[in-house]
Structure 1
Amino acid sequence: MFRQLKKAATFAAAVLATTTLVSAAQAADYPEKAITLVVPYGAGGASDLAGRALAETARHYTDDQPVVVVNKTGNGGMNGARYVTEQKPDGYTLLLSRVGMALYPAVYTDSPVGWDDYTFLGILESTPMILAVNAESDIQTIDDLIAKIKSSNGATTYAASGPTAIDGFTVQALLADTDMDPLSASTLVPYKGGSALAAALLGGHVDFLAISAGSLMPHIEAGKMRALMIYAPKRMDALPNVPTAKELGYKLAGQVGGWSGLYAPKGLPEDVVAKWTEILGKVATDATWLDLAKKRGSVSVIGDEEPSAYVKSQFELYNGMAKKFGYIQ
């Protein structure tokens, strides 16, 4: 019996050693085929544009292997996120993550994917969000807007994807910061997608909104919208006179903002993680990536944040707000 057990143990060790060597060899040769980059939201939106910009740039550093963008939408981005977490952790299926990957599990306790069910490869960009009104509005400043909301008894309206979406939290955080009820001081009117949200403001169907810069900048530059405040770490070069929520002293709103990251399934081999660290380091200084980010109104932050710590802090921020606003009892 002892001899049999010893023989089995020796065989198991040999299999493990062989598997380890094969895995290491595979990782060393990575990538040997096309890489799928899953974007968990629809085509044409901020996440899709970021994903395609990364694919366009990274392909120059993936040993001539293409990076193919695939949109897998639904359930607040969780359908695409869950799909990636269920794939083999070999580096050939990656996720273009957004703030929703931290926000959704922070708000919904039954989220199909946890905030930390991934291998974090990097935070790619900060995507400013802009609080804006129609250019024909009598609201000229953020103080004007706050005064109007306070005097309206809930009659002012804003467009957002939903109360617990990032563009819902942008407004609710501001309301909370100004001692108003985040759920009743202004009325949310739901629309799907950045273009529909922008159209609602352009058409005079809502009083204001606070959504991604990429969806609003063309209208602001055309003189059809007026920007009042930026949700971002610093002012936008394209809007140098528009203050940020942080510099205006808004505690919660000053922490809210959009971003993109790159995730992989949990358990990605260290050599593949190292390869993507190398690739992203090159993307960070690539003129194409930087130019496309600027056109989207985004700021490249590759290498500025330790990804797992940053995502954890974002989860904790929105989980705290969800509890404060009553979405989680």
Structure 2
Amino acid sequence: MTKLFKLTLAAGAALLAAGAHAQAFPASGKTITLIVPFAAGGPTDKVARDLAEALRKPLNGATIVVDNAAGAGSTIGTAKAFRAAPDGYTLLVTHIGMATTPTLYRNPGYKYDEFEYLGLINEVPMVVVGKPALAANNWQELNTWIGQNKGKVNLANAGLGSASHLCGLMLQNALKTEMTTVPYKGTAPAMTDLIGGQVDIMCDQTTNTTSQVEGKKIKAYAMSTAKRVTTPAIYKDLPTLDETGMKGFNVSIWHGLYAPKGTPAAVVKTLNDALKVALKDPEFIKKEEGLGAVVVNDARVNPADHKKFVASEVTKWGAVIKAAGQYAD
């Protein structure tokens, strides 16, 4: 057997092996981990767990687990995903924080544009909510109360860079008033104190507020989106902040799916194809709509469009954060 023939056989075998490896993803018995850079029970955690269920079928019944790696405004978990092996078995589910950390943190431990973008998942409205004992029963009354208590209103958020923090910044700017900001280490403790009356108001995602509003544990006053939210029905009579006179106020929180840089193109395609199937899953859509979220069904489910969208959000939120003068180290 000639040397050239042996080399040809070896090259052919390598190509076949590579092809088999690509086709085998996800390999039988291997677990896919979705890293969520927030605490269990929070809005992003709920989205990730719903998505994990919807992804199993298009990924050949793969075992998919959620790893909550919370802390430092989502940077700990996101950096963990950034450093993970680029093999498709460790992914990241995160929210708008992907677009705010470039301004909030000088060195978050990763670069937002050096992930493999897999597609946008959903968009979530924000709602201004208040403690149950608050005298105000509608937005007009709440606005009056805030005006009468300038400097005394306690505004909770889930920590620097959280959705509630960003919405709170825009709310204060639109109202032209400063509130006493009370940051927490996550959405759950912030909501607990709001229910208990230790803080006055918060602007948070409907994925976190819906069950509390329905259970009358907190009060809902206004929506952050340009159009009214009609699903779930608990929000259908609430005005938008734009309607109340804050023209142009439009904030929704989105979630996306990412893989470490260098993940093979074939694996990226497999994951993106699976995501597109999951986003059309009736049960997934039903769960998200029940929380007030809207499942994405436009071009942003494609990796290139997803990345382009996030870059535009980096610019948008960078201006808001700089204007507020709120930076981290």
TM range, smaller chain = 0.7 to 0.9
Residue 325 of structure 1: CA displacement? 0.9
Matched residue SS, 1:196:
helix
Q: Does 1:112 align with 2:114?
A: no
Distance 1:271 1:300 in 2: 25
Residue 187 of structure 1: CA displacement? 0.6
Moved more, 202-211 or 190-199: 190-199
Q: Does 1:278 align with 2:273?
A: yes
The 8 Å contact of residues 226 and 248 in structure 2, kept in 1 or not, is answered as no
Moved more, 195-204 or 14-23: 14-23
Q: 1:190 to 1:16 in 2, by over 3 A?
A: farther
Measured against aligned partners, the alpha-carbon deviations of 1:57-104 in whole angstroms (never above 9, x if no partner) come to 111111232222222222222122111111222211111122222222
Moved more, 116-125 or 18-27: 18-27
Residue 179 of structure 1: CA displacement? 3.0
Residue 320 of structure 1: CA displacement? 1.0
Question: What is the identity, as a one-letter code, of the residue corresponding to 2:231?
Answer: D
Q: Which runs of structure 2 are paired with 1:1-329 in the superposition (5 Å)?
A: 23-32=18-27, 33-162=30-159, 164-180=161-177, 185-232=178-225, 234=227, 235-238=229-232, 239-246=235-242, 248=244, 250=246, 253-254=249-250, 256-305=251-300, 306-328=305-327
Q: 1:34 to 1:224 in 2, by over 3 A?
A: closer
Residue 200 of structure 1: CA displacement? 1.9
Q: 1:161 to 1:194 in 2, by over 3 A?
A: closer
Residue 132 of structure 1: CA displacement? 1.0
Distance 1:286 1:75 in 2: 33
Measured against aligned partners, the alpha-carbon deviations of 1:224-265 in whole angstroms (never above 9, x if no partner) come to 3221112346414121111333555646741x3322110001
Measured against aligned partners, the alpha-carbon deviations of 1:132-186 in whole angstroms (never above 9, x if no partner) come to 1234423233343333333423111111123543212212202212333xxxx11
**Normalising by structure 1, what TM-score?**
0.84
Question: What is the identity, as a one-letter code, of the residue corresponding to 1:300?
Answer: V
Residue 24 of structure 1: CA displacement? 4.8
Distance 1:76 1:163 in 2: 5
Structure 2 gaps of 5+ residues are 1-6
Structure 1 gaps of 5+ residues are 1-10
Matched residue SS, 1:111:
coil
Runs (4+) of structure 1 moved beyond 4 Å?
14-25, 246-249
How many residues in Structure 1 have an aligned counterpart in Structure 2? 312
The 8 Å contact of residues 127 and 232 in structure 1, kept in 2 or not, is answered as no
Distance 1:170 1:17 in 2: 56
Moved more, 93-102 or 193-202: 193-202
The 8 Å contact of residues 127 and 203 in structure 2, kept in 1 or not, is answered as yes
Moved more, 119-128 or 313-322: 313-322
Q: 1:195 to 1:162 in 2, by over 3 A?
A: closer
Question: What is the identity, as a one-letter code, of the residue corresponding to 1:156?
Answer: V
Residue 197 of structure 1: CA displacement? 1.7
The 8 Å contact of residues 37 and 94 in structure 1, kept in 2 or not, is answered as yes
Matched residue SS, 1:170:
helix
Matched residue SS, 2:113:
coil
What percentage of aligned pairs have identical amino acids?
29
Question: What is the identity, as a one-letter code, of the residue corresponding to 1:148?
Answer: W
Distance 2:11 2:77 in 1: 33
